[in-house]
Amino acid sequence: MGKPTGFIEFSREDVQYRNANDRVGDWNEFLVQINDQTLTTQGARCMDCGVPFCHTGQIVERMATGCPVNNLIPEWNHLIYKGKWREALDRLHHTNNFPEFTGRVCPAPCEGSCVLGINEPPVTIKDIERSIVDRGFAEGWIAPRIPQSRSGKSVAVVGSGPAGLACADQLNQQGHHVTVYERADRIGGLLMYGIPNMKLDKGVVERRIGLLRDEGIEFKTGVNIGTDLSAADLKNQHDAVVLCVGATQPRDLKIPGRTASGIYFAMEYLTGSTSSLLGQHDTPISAAGKNVVVIGGGDTGTDCIGTAIRQGCKSVVNLEIVRRPPEERAESNPWPQWPMIFRTDYGHAEAKAKFGDDPRKFSVETVEFIADKEFKLKGLRTCRVDWSQPRPGVAPFSRIEGTNQDIAADLVFLALGFLGPEASIAEAFGLQCDQRSNIQATEGQYTTNVDGVFAAGDCRRGQSLVVWAIREGREVADVCGEFLAAN
């Protein structure tokens, strides 16, 4: 624990963002570094709770509780309170390969399960985590760890997102030779192209990749397994294969007018924007001067809002079919589950600062895209829905008569989540898939129906958080390591 009476003496101080009107003029990270004194008092708020739930990483009633990678949160909070930053970094890296990523993009399920959070604002765990690792890099404490010996075994990791990188890091430290294959032109997967720069600076990603490369991991970009290199050849070149290809098949909205030009999947938009920012090419989809509608919420929807504003959009509206979440926990959503409450993310705050209002509209269904004679998008038609009146066998809600509304739109971005991995990778290896189209591999075992081929991360569990991907990457590395030792 930190200070025995810290949770009584000190109030929670949330991380500060740069002014919304200022930060939308650039692509720099919006977080403001916290000073050491504030971090010390925030670490002191970590109480002697007896049974800490913050690092449990369990599923309770189908909802996550605590940190999926089982971060030793009370330990490094105590160390920060004592001013022992180097020791805190060691404890943090003991469970988390990439705290600089989770400390920026994770929604912090740990804080939702903080015991103090039952009747007080929880400890600022995520901010402390990010500050510890950033301090570690700044002080030069984080340096390449070169394995002292090699096993002579070779592993191919397909996909360089958080699951693939965590798996590669663990296997490399076990002494195996690891080659990471990525079909994009840069390593990082979701971290590189799926998350905008203002939330996760690409220099932060490249810094860690450089470290992994110095430690002996080989990276190959522009290699699409099944096309550029067959699954059979990949298996022949390596002793084991671990698939961490993510869930990249987007969910579509198949309603009248869908073929109109100007409708894009969110990830296509975000990837193109980041690629342009990195100097690859001109922005393929620009929101400059256009009326933008984002359909779907979550992190991806927010990222589309923030990106469109920085590109200079004329307006932005965010449509969500779900109800507006409550301000406080519902009785059906008890602690230590993640609190499903109304939150204002960075993109929502930026839209309000620029256009004067929160862009979100809840309980709204999009029923038709409206196009002109050239099939160019000019708007969409919506209606309100009532979640208290389900239509059995049709939908868990009903449409409210007389609530149709047309919204002007030059661009629509679909941020409706993902269905699973693209079918081509499973077909290339002859893998079985579950009913949700994910690669079939039991959690904790990660073995597929093909000997020597493993699967982990979003391609196995479905769309999830970066921190869950890191957990599965670590766990599949242990299973793969046991396989290599036995064969």
Q: Is the pLDDT of residue 25 over 90?
A: yes
Task: Output the pLDDT for position 164.
Answer: 98
Q: Residue 1's pLDDT band (boundaries 50, 70, 90)?
A: low
Which of these three, 383, 416, 449, is where a domain ends? Answer: 416
Instruction: Count the domains in the chain.
Output: 3
Q: Is the pLDDT of residue 139 over 90?
A: yes
Which of these three, 377, 396, 416, is where a domain ends? Answer: 416
Q: Is the pLDDT of residue 220 over 90?
A: yes
* Residue 170 within a domain: yes
Positive/negative CA dihedral, 411, 417, 419, 420? positive
Alpha-carbon distance 388 to 382, whole Å? 19
Q: Are 337 and 307 in contact (CB under 8 A)?
A: no
* Residue 145 within a domain: no
DSSP annotation string for 110-174: HHHT-GGGGTSPPP-HHHHHHHHHHHHHHHT-------S---S-EEEEE--SHHHHHHHHHHHHT
Q: Which residue has the higher pLDDT, 373 or 61?
A: 373
Please tell me whether residues 446 and 391 are part of one structural domain. Answer: no
* Residue 207 within a domain: yes
Distance of CA 232 to CAs 225, 235, 240, 241, Å? 10, 5, 12, 11
Average pLDDT over residues 91-110: 97
Please tell me whether residues 335 and 441 are part of one structural domain. Answer: no
Q: Are 406 and 242 in contact (CB under 8 A)?
A: no
Please tell me whether residues 102 and 125 are part of one structural domain. Answer: yes
Q: Are 320 and 364 in contact (CB under 8 A)?
A: yes
What CATH number did the domain enclosing 268 receive?
Answer: 3.50.50.60
Q: What is the mean pLDDT of the chain?
A: 95
Please tell me whether residues 94 and 11 are part of one structural domain. Answer: yes
Average pLDDT over residues 65-73: 94
pLDDT in tens, 151-209: 999 999 999 999 999 999 999 999 999 999 999 999 999 999 999 999 999 999 999 99
Alpha-carbon distance 272 to 270, whole Å? 5
Torsion of CA 180, 151, 175, 483, to 10 degrees: 70
Q: Are 238 and 155 in contact (CB under 8 A)?
A: yes
Q: Residue 280's pLDDT band (boundaries 50, 70, 90)?
A: confident
Alpha-carbon distance 460 to 437, whole Å? 9
Alpha carbon 22 to chain centroid distance? 25
Please tell me whether residues 258 and 234 are part of one structural domain. Answer: no
Which of these three, 93, 115, 139, is where a domain ends? Answer: 139
Q: Write out the two tokens for 42.
A: 């925030």
Q: Write out the two tokens for 486.
A: 């036995």
Task: Output the pLDDT for position 361.
Answer: 98
Residue 152 region by backbone torsions, left for phi larger than 0, else alpha for psi between -120 and 50, else beta = left
Q: Is the pLDDT of residue 322 over 90?
A: yes
* Residue 244 within a domain: yes
The closest of 303, 327, 277, 311 to 104, measured between CA atoms, is 303
Please tell me whether residues 256 and 126 are part of one structural domain. Answer: no
Alpha-carbon distance 11 to 41, whole Å? 9
CA neighbours closer than 13 Å in the CB half-sphere of residue 399: 12
Average pLDDT over residues 106-117: 94
Domain containing residue 98: 6-139
Q: Write out the two tokens for 265.
A: 């999947």
Task: Output the pLDDT for position 282.
Answer: 67
Please tell me whether residues 330 and 279 are part of one structural domain. Answer: yes
pLDDT in tens, 426-484: 999 999 999 999 999 998 999 999 999 999 999 999 999 999 999 999 999 999 999 99
Q: Residue 374's pLDDT band (boundaries 50, 70, 90)?
A: very high
Please tell me whether residues 269 and 411 are part of one structural domain. Answer: yes
Alpha-carbon distance 195 to 266, whole Å? 11
* Residue 146 within a domain: no
Q: In terms of residues, how long is the chain? A: 487
pLDDT in tens, 33-63: 889 999 999 999 998 788 899 988 888 887 8
What CATH number did the domain enclosing 65 receive?
Answer: 1.10.1060.10
pLDDT in tens, 255-279: 999 999 999 999 999 999 999 999 8
Q: Write out the two tokens for 18.
A: 């740069």
Please tell me whether residues 133 and 166 are part of one structural domain. Answer: no
Residues 6+ apart with CB under 8 A from 353: 20, 21, 24
* Residue 118 within a domain: yes
Distance of CA 3 to CAs 74, 110, 126, Å? 11, 20, 19
Per cent of the chain over pLDDT 90 is: 91
Q: Which residue has the higher pLDDT, 421 or 280?
A: 421
Please tell me whether residues 119 and 59 are part of one structural domain. Answer: yes
Task: Output the pLDDT for position 283.
Answer: 67
Bridge partners, 225 (sequence order): 229
Q: Is the pLDDT of residue 486 over 90?
A: yes
* Residue 147 within a domain: no
Average pLDDT over residues 120-125: 95
Q: Is the pLDDT of residue 360 over 70?
A: yes
* Residue 148 within a domain: no
Element spanning 368, H or E: strand 364-371
Please tell me whether residues 26 and 59 are part of one structural domain. Answer: yes
Please tell me whether residues 280 and 394 are part of one structural domain. Answer: yes
